[in-house]
Structure 1
């Protein structure tokens, strides 16, 4: 829901670019929005809906998290929270509304996002409902100990990533390591991390895990989890349990526009079925061949 005074908001008037306004309206009105102001959404889906590249979406996300301070995003659970949702949309209660919110709050994995949205709720009854779902465990308090602490958009240690300042990554890294162990990981993340840990890629290599997990959201694959697991299995079969080897396989598949596990299997099957060039086994006589129509008389020109 978008209030008519959206266009009179000082932030929208003075700080937001036209692209910012378009993006914020999308966050408020897309088909994934909920009654509680917290919903799941991948950057790939945002890019598809808006007609933007993933890089553009990531840049806008950083702007809204760090500059405007209007949203938070958990890249592990892929949950997005809108700070002022409660102030703008949760003015009326009632049993049907409360029951709907209660059902949706139960589905939130990162409960720190519930606390984040609750701060702007003015109606006491609704704020109390939100607070009843908040779990203040140590890890989440560390992650959000200040108002400007936010989840990083891409949890990778690669300091040459143009969208992630190196100092920000170092500051957030303890939270990243903890997040890999908590129970609110998505199933896709769990399966990839378990495969990595159980097949010799390096149990303590947190940086490698995070770089590989970034392919779940920032690749063009339609089945990213299945494709990543297939690449890791190939690396194991070739005894090449290294991140660079797995990433090399993934890049090759992307370059070939192989976006699903089925397409990859079909491609490799076709490669196997292509006959190799065979050397001809036909024997040729040494020297120059004599045409069949020529009759050779060996006694010609000799007198006996």
Structure 2
């Protein structure tokens, strides 16, 4: 289960003490600790979910968001991607390094759709290594000229890009120091691009059409209806943006993979997290679906204890009952 740390200094912050109402403080704590949060303070959440979690009306949520954006200037919200950025999140939460922390940050950076939000958190990051990582990530995006819709195909066709003569290794964009051909969700128009240089991805998709080194799956109308219904059943909130993402990915991965990935999200507690679903699909494509699922299954197997070889003691329950009642005397 994920957890978020709230420092006691939160209550001593001058802005919190002097400028915020009790309702503001409650809302701010919610933004810092709700189930949609991640390690970098940029995550996707819809206002309806805020209203449901807090018991407020949509009008109250809109009023609070306006106050936090324009008056307190603590958050930025993108209405198109439904992503919120807590500007000073890195002040207290991104102050310790280490490989697990770095890996989580890389993963969350790769899941951000509106990359401009990342600039908002850099200034408040105190840890030098983490700050350098985020700055290099932004530099890598600018240097390779990747826009939100990935329209510059000539640059994407290259397997690697160098920034200041060294390779940048980012979760979701690269696994081995190189930019992957299939990038995670990014921009208003999600347009996954898959190239057939990976042997495991050449023959695993049914009804595949290959054109100009791109692989697409033929999907009929019935499959589309079934997958929309399955996503809603798995807790994904129906929206035009979700439909756009599904329409793009189903042509690459097929209906069965999409529906199984949605089910995996439910099993792993990642409900309504399309970025996580996209990562599952990419892992299945790269490593093979059966191998990836087997790895997760094996991780959950309980190792036998040293007492497993001993037989359990057997009792005569009728005899025990007589002894307890004193009838054996």
Alignment TM-score, normalising by the size of structure 1: 0.47
Higher relative contact order (Cα pairs below 8 Å, separated by 6+ residues): 1
Alignment TM-score, normalising by the size of structure 2: 0.43
